[in-house]
Amino acid sequence: MDTMSSPDPPSGLSHIRGEGSEAHAVMVDVSAKEPGRRVAVAGARVVFPGELLEQVLAGRGPKGPVLEVARVAGIQGAKRTAELIPMCHPLGLDLVEIEFQVESPRVLAIRCTAVTTARTGVEMEALTGASLAALTVYDMTKALEKGIRIEGLRLLEKSGGRSGHWTAPEPT
């Protein structure tokens, strides 16, 4: 079956071709798009019980320097997104940056910025980077407390491409 001639389903999902029993997943063809600078920023929050965040920030995690290991994991995760998310295009990333900010005595915010010059966006890379950094913080601190939560993984901002610039509304 020729996937190029299959109509998009009524839902408009870009990674599905055909309808009903003929529907199947496809990788979107981006070959006709012009390469351009693409930037995406994603975030997640790690919520700690009690005084645990203070310990983490003081470098007293049970497995070493929690934030630096999480930073490297987030960068590595962003770079490997196409291996983890089946329909993602492999991208050469020009920058991946992981930042941490204390929002409150119990909340650590994580931001991942991904930048590329490509035919498709880097939203998934930014989301993967933020999530892997958050998961690594959990992994490195779970011996102290199992009640740590990861919340609010979301795209915060993106620019470039046909849809231009977009910023997430403030959460309600």
Please answer whether residues 111 and 32 qualify as being in contact, where contact means their C-beta atoms are separated by less than 8 angstroms.
no
152 burial type by CB count under 10 A (0-12 exposed, 13-18 middle, 19+ buried) = middle
CB atoms closer than 10 angstroms to residue 52: 21
* Cα–Cα distance for residue pair 53/32, rounded to 1 Å: 48
Strand partners, 107: 47, 104
Tell me which residue of 141, 48, 147 sits closest to 102, measured CA to CA: 48
Tell me which residue of 130, 128, 142, 125 sits closest to 99, measured CA to CA: 130
- Catalytic residue list: 139
Please answer whether residues 106 and 47 qualify as being in contact, where contact means their C-beta atoms are separated by less than 8 angstroms.
yes
